[in-house]
């Protein structure tokens, strides 16, 4: 949601700056800025909000939250210089075999702290993969 507010405010400021140039320039720049805002909002709508602990990755969605065991995560890779990360899964979940997240809106400015957070996620994934899986004593194995 904060992505949308940021983009709308930014493009609103761009349109306002052209308001003194005349009506034709205002309409043209408004249409261009509106289209740009639409593309950015559509792009950021694909990003997931997530948190993690020692066992699970929690993906927060509008309609349903998803719980993914860390041992199901194959890798976490950076996809762009803007701080978009891709999570690859061993087995498909409700999100599919992969999904994307962005650590921060201001990623290039605070990349060190956000990269450290992603590195902690990677370390938690490695610990979860090494830990032996515990089953209940009365669990049926098939």
Q: What is the pLDDT of residue 129?
A: 87
pLDDT tops 80 at residue 75: yes
Q: In residues, how long is the chain? A: 142
Beta strands in 13-124 (DSSP E): 49-52, 56-60, 66-69, 73-78, 84-93, 96-102
pLDDT digit string, tens, across residues 116-137: 888 899 999 999 888 877 766 7
**Stated pTM of the model:** 0.65
Beta bridge partners of 89: 73
Q: Which residue has the higher pLDDT, 82 or 35?
A: 35
């Amino acid at each position: 949601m904060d992505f949308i507010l940021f983009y709308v405010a930014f493009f609103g400021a761009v349109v306002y700056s052209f308001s003194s140039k005349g009506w034709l320039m205002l309409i043209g720049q408004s249409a261009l800025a509106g289209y740009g805002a639409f593309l950015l909002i559509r792009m950021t709508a694909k990003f997931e909000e997530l948190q993690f602990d020692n066992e699970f990755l929690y993906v927060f969605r509008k309609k349903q939250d998803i719980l993914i065991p860390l041992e199901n995560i194959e890798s976490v890779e950076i996809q762009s210089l803007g701080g978009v990360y891709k999570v690859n899964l061993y087995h498909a979940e409700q999100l599919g075999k992969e999904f994307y997240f962005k650590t921060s809106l201001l990623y290039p400015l605070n990349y060190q702290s956000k990269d450290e957070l992603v590195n902690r996620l990677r370390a938690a994934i490695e610990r979860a993969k090494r830990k032996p899986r515990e089953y209940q004593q009365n669990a049926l194995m098939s």
